[in-house]
Amino acid sequence: MPVSPTVAEAAVPATHARSLSRTVSLYVALMKPGILTLLLVTTLGAMFVAQDGVPPLSLVLITMLGGTLIAGGANVLNCYIDRDIDRKMHRTKKRGTASGEIPAMNALIFGLALTIAAFLMLGFGANWLAAGLALAGNVFYVVIYTYYLKRRTPQNIVIGGAAGAFPPLVGWAAVTGNLSVAAFIMFAIVYYWTPPHFWALALLKQGEYGRADVPMLPNVAGEDETRRQMMLYTVLLSAVSILLVPFGFSYIYFGSALVLDAVFLFYAFELLRKPNKALARQTFFYSMWYIFLLFAAMVADVLILG
């Protein structure tokens, strides 16, 4: 039975709408929203601490939007560079750049456009120090980590982890126009948090990294050495997190940091003592809650105790 013109005409916009929705979702996925959430938590936390209270709403919105765009731009450029190895890993093979649904040149232009727009937004809306720090984090992640380190050394996460530690500096600079020791300690917290966080994932995805020829620590040095390194960096992270206490923090942050550190150390020690995939998975997910709750404790301390 022939389809009436009315039904056929109605089907065309619906098909276009689904196609547009699919395209938008593919581009948004390249920005890696899950990773952006953690980066923005550290940016916002640093802003509250730097302000010693609630920062101006307009500044928060500008900084968070700029941070989203510049980190998203870095992630898109990461997907552009890694599109060949992303095809070899189950968790990344559906990315638009890996599947071919997003042309490589389109991804490159999109990533650069996000980066430039964010840099200008932060520069004019906050200050140029914040904009410069955000751009430095973007370049470090794309060039130093993704392009140079990731495929060459098992220390890729250790060195490249500095890129993910820039957001607290950006948040602090956006509020104050300068940097302080406390801001650099926040940077160090994220820096030392990164290896145990990502190595827990690497223990779970060791086979995928092997197929993609990415020299993650478990593939190069073995699982036992990876767990020892995780324990070491968790100890360092715990020590650095306490270093923040003399810089205006009280018992809310101090107590929270002690508890959060104790749990993280427990997971790292248990993983070292009786290794298994389930415990590695628990450690990975706890590490995400750790960074969120630690920065939330900073904010709570500032807001409640001033």
**Mean of pLDDT over the chain:** 92
As a whole number of angstroms, the distance between CA 165 and CA 146 comes to 15
Question: In which band, very low, low, confident or very high, does the pLDDT at 15 lie, cut at 50, 70 and 90?
Answer: low
> CA 209, CA 205: separation in Å to the nearest integer?
6
Cα 44-198-294 angle, rounded to 5 deg = 35
Is the pLDDT at 306 greater than 80? The verdict is no
User: What is the average pLDDT across 10-21?
Assistant: 64
Query: What phi-psi label fits residue 228: left (phi over 0), alpha (psi between -120 and 50 degrees) or beta?
Result: alpha
Burial class for 210, CB neighbours closer than 10 Å (0-12, 13-18, 19+): middle
Q: What token pair was written down for 61? A: 């919105």
pLDDT, residue 18, reads: 64
| The pLDDT of residue 210 | 85
**Better-scored residue on pLDDT, 21 or 290:** 290
Query: pLDDT tens for residues 137-168?
Result: 999 999 999 999 988 998 888 888 899 999 99
Q: Is the pLDDT score of 2 beyond 90?
A: no
Per CATH, the number for 29-305 is 1.10.600
Q: Are 103 and 114 in contact (CB under 8 A)?
A: no
**pLDDT value of position 1:** 45
pLDDT in tens, 59-87: 999 999 999 999 999 999 999 999 999 99
- Say which residues have a Cβ less than 8 Å from residue 179's Cβ, sequence separation at least 6: 129, 169, 172, 173
pLDDT value of position 133: 98
pTM score, two decimals? 0.91
Q: What tokens does 233 get? A: 């960096």
Alpha-carbon distance of 253 to 43, in angstroms, equals: 17
Tell me: pLDDT of 4 over 90.
Answer: no
**DSSP of the chain:** -PPPHHHHHHHHHHHHHHHHHHHHHHHHHHT-HHHHHHHHHHHHHHHHHHHTSPPPHHHHHHHHHHHHHHHHHHHHHHHHHTHHHHTTSTTTTTSHHHHTSS-HHHHHHHHHHHHHHHHHHHHHHT-HHHHHHHHHHHHIIIIIIIIIITTT-TTHHHHHGGGGGHHHHHHHHHHHSS--HHHHHHHHHHHHHHHHHHHHHHHHSHHHHHHTT---HHHHH-HHHHHHHHHHHHHHHHHHHHHTTTTT--HHHHHHHHHHHHHHHHHHHHHHHS--HHHHHHHHHHHHHHHHHHHHHHHHHHHHH-
What pLDDT, in 10s, does the model give residues 91-145?
Answer: 888 999 999 999 999 999 999 999 999 999 999 999 999 999 999 999 999 999 9
Residues of the chain above pLDDT 90, percent: 79
CA 152 to chain centre: 21
Q: Cα(123)–Cα(127) distance, rounded to whole angstroms? A: 5
pLDDT at res. 109: 97
Whether residue 34 has pLDDT greater than 60:
yes
